[in-house]
Amino acid sequence: MTTVREMIYAILRAQGITTLFGNPGSNELPFLDQFPKDFRYILGLQEGAVIGMADGFAQATGRPALVNLHSAAGTGNAMGGLANAWNSHSPLIVTAGQQTRPMMGVEPLLTNIDATTLPKPLVKWSHEPASAAEVPHAMSRAIHLASLPAPGPVYVSIPYDDWGKPADEQSELLTKRRVTSAGMPGPDAMQALLATIGAAKNPVIVLGPDVDAAKGNADAVRLAERLAAPVWVAPSAPRCPFPTTHANFRGLLPAGIAAISRLLTGHDLILVFGAPVFRYHQYDPGQFLPEGAELIAFTCDPDEAVRAPMGDAIVGDVGLILKALADQVAVSDRDAPAPRLSPALGKVRDGALMPERVFDLIDQIAPRDAIYLNESTSTTAMMWERLRIENPGSYYFAAAGGLGFAMPAAVGVQLAEPERQVIAVIGDGSANYSITALWTAAQYDIPVIYVIMKNGTYGALRWFAGVLGAEDVPGLDVPGIDFVALAQGYGLTTYRATDDGAFSAALTAAIAAGKPALIEVTTCPPVTA
Ligand code: TZD
Ligand code: CA
């Protein structure tokens, strides 16, 4: 007899899913019983960290990642991270242990009451199998659905008495299934597109995270060069889809309606690849489109396509479409855009570094193919200006803006990319949401380098308070946190820096050591009006 548990591991194995991120409880132990030797379990100490690690791993591998949470309590702790995973199109298969079927009705301790409602609306599908026999089928469905465009999290709640029950013999068929999608415009639609692009006098390209997810970065470069078009990154960027060193690169679009239109004024065609149109943040009312501009968005996500308040959208495989356009567009005789000026150097002040300076030093010292995670909210624009980010899969930021992503995601990304150095730049506010990720990095010897930008405040909120004209707002400062002491407690190598020399020495030593490390650097708070 094959048990449900054995069948699930066979299905996962057949899909190449052998890493499990979790935090266990009583309901999950029967699933983890006799954990197969060819699987690895990565323990997170709180579910926000668990989901963040899985999100980073899924994004960096481009493959579905498996998560196991404890009932409603564990799911609740993971919800903030699920918001980010939903927005970043991360294929997460989130499972949660449920109480036994015979007892569920009387709601014993740690019952997941109305389990399928709990994770909505942040999952593509939420399901509790009607019987033990349905569990293998439900898991197979979950894996394929999470992976198909638009990828995203799915949720399966599994009563713990199901694992030892016999699996249906025919569920063996599930181990052999392949479900794929194909998404190119037909030849007529392609010709129409090429004609529209060819007729544009001054096109501009806006790139989003799904270009990086599709590893379409080099095709984006070819398209930009053939069209002699400037390239912007779509606002609130969770990934970096274009080399920041390229002459055509213009930077990160601001997250306001009017500000975007201002910057894109003069263009008659705006081509958007792999981004929502657009992920605004501050309310900055104005025209969605600059005068005389037409917009065409390419996305894998039907919801993203219909949600845009302007322009046309084509739902398909962003990587394939980008490649086809880069192959086929006519080479323009327009002048290439002039390279941007290098940003001014940050000044040094006594006892603290300008954040610009920290990025310049990181850029000088880090390997050129380093991978960056960003959760230093007030310094995001500087990071995009000052770091040379050139390879696919080199930058990650919380896609829904939910803090607590980058610290654990760095662990997942470093697991997926053992040959590249991961550097996570985290604010002293953001560092507290999923700080237990430090323990996982230390215990599993995952050599992430954390740089904590200690400016003593929620800098981005000080800026936002200025935008909103909000005065005397309480709760915006975070003094008195010793990140060196915290990181030592979790088992990392630590460094403290308050000047250029100490920071350079710390980063150099941390990279050479190849061990999980944390550098606390005192930085100047942002200047607010
Ligand atoms: N809670 C969660 C889960 N997500 C959020 N985005 C916030 C609160 C609100 N928030 C921001 O959007 S930015 C920010 C907060 C609290 C400040 C982060 O401060 P930091 O970085 O120290 O990490 P800066 O550079 O000082 O802004
Ligand atoms: Ca801060």
Taking CA atoms, 168 is separated from 11, 129, 143, 162, 380, in Å, by 13, 14, 19, 12, 52
Query: Is 134 an active-site residue?
Result: no
**Cα–Cα distance measured from residue 428 to residue 450, given in angstroms and rounded to the nearest whole number:** 11
**Cα–Cα distance measured from residue 518 to residue 488, given in angstroms and rounded to the nearest whole number:** 9
Say which of 25, 164, 456, 491 is annotated catalytic: 25
In this prediction, residue 78 carries a pLDDT of 98
pLDDT band at 16 (very low <50, low <70, confident <90, very high): very high
pLDDT over 90 at 343, yes or no:
no
Average pLDDT over residues 423-434: 98
**Cα–Cα distance measured from residue 361 to residue 497, given in angstroms and rounded to the nearest whole number:** 12
3-class secondary structure, 275: coil
pLDDT digits (tens, 9 = 90+) for 369-419: 999 999 999 999 999 999 999 999 999 999 999 999 999 999 999 999 999
In this prediction, residue 347 carries a pLDDT of 60
Cβ proximity of 293 and 270 under 8 Å: yes
The whole-chain average pLDDT of the chain stands at: 96
* Strand ranges (E), 51-183: 65-69, 92-98, 126-127, 154-159
Taking CA atoms, 461 is separated from 357, 400, 453, in Å, by 22, 16, 15
pLDDT over 70 at 127, yes or no:
yes
pLDDT over 80 at 346, yes or no:
no
Residue type present at position 476 = L
Query: Is 70 an active-site residue?
Result: yes
pLDDT over 80 at 239, yes or no:
yes
3-class secondary structure, 315: strand
Percent over 70 (pLDDT), the chain: 98
3-class secondary structure, 186: coil
**Cα–Cα distance measured from residue 344 to residue 360, given in angstroms and rounded to the nearest whole number:** 11
**Cα–Cα distance measured from residue 155 to residue 64, given in angstroms and rounded to the nearest whole number:** 13
pLDDT band at 527 (very low <50, low <70, confident <90, very high): confident
Structure tokens at 469: 């004209």
In this prediction, residue 528 carries a pLDDT of 64
> Where do the domains of the chain lie, and which CATH numbers do they carry?
4-176 (3.40.50.970), 187-328 (3.40.50.1220), 348-522 (3.40.50.970)
In this prediction, residue 110 carries a pLDDT of 96
pLDDT over 60 at 282, yes or no:
yes
Q: How many angstroms separate the alpha carbon of residue 453 from the centre of ligand 1?
A: 13
Query: Is 375 an active-site residue?
Result: no
H-type helices in 329-405, by residue range?
355-365, 380-386
**Residue with the nearest Cα to atom 10 of ligand 1?**
461
pLDDT digits (tens, 9 = 90+) for 249-263: 999 999 999 999 999
pLDDT band at 288 (very low <50, low <70, confident <90, very high): very high
**Cα–Cα distance measured from residue 465 to residue 526, given in angstroms and rounded to the nearest whole number:** 13
In this prediction, residue 349 carries a pLDDT of 66
Q: How many angstroms separate the alpha carbon of residue 451 from the centre of ligand 2?
A: 12
Say which of 76, 183, 311, 401 is annotated catalytic: 401
pLDDT digits (tens, 9 = 90+) for 463-514: 999 889 999 999 999 999 999 999 999 999 999 999 999 999 999 999 999 9
In this prediction, residue 140 carries a pLDDT of 98
| Closest listed residue to residue 494, CA positions, set 485, 502, 503, 504 | 485
pLDDT over 60 at 529, yes or no:
no
Which atom of ligand 1 approaches the CA of 80 most closely? 3
Query: Is 172 an active-site residue?
Result: no
CB atoms within 10 A of CB 149: 17
Say which of 28, 128, 304, 417 is annotated catalytic: 28
Which atom of ligand 1 approaches the CA of 462 most closely? 27
Pairing of strands 352-353, 348-349: antiparallel
In this prediction, residue 447 carries a pLDDT of 98
pLDDT digits (tens, 9 = 90+) for 162-215: 999 999 999 999 999 999 999 999 999 999 999 999 999 999 999 999 999 999
Q: How many angstroms separate the alpha carbon of residue 263 from the centre of ligand 1?
A: 26
- Which ligand lies nearest to the CA atom of residue 429 in the structure? 1
**Residue with the nearest Cα to atom 24 of ligand 1?**
459
pLDDT over 70 at 345, yes or no:
no
Q: What are phi and psi of 321, to 5 degrees?
A: -65, -45
Query: What pTM did the predictor assign?
Result: 0.97
In this prediction, residue 192 carries a pLDDT of 97
Average pLDDT over residues 97-101: 98
- The dihedral over CA atoms of 230, 223, 196, 231, expressed in degrees to the nearest 10, equals -20
In this prediction, residue 120 carries a pLDDT of 98
- Kindly state if the Cβ of 355 falls inside 6 Å of ligand 1: no
Q: Which residues contact residue 23 at a Cβ distance below 8 angstroms, ignoring those fewer than 6 apart?
A: 43, 44, 45, 46, 47, 50, 68, 69, 70, 74
> Does residue 129 have a cis bond before it (omega within 30 degrees)?
no
- Kindly state if the Cβ of 402 falls inside 6 Å of ligand 1: yes
Average pLDDT over residues 325-349: 83
Structure tokens at 179: 């479900």
pLDDT over 70 at 525, yes or no:
yes
In this prediction, residue 320 carries a pLDDT of 98
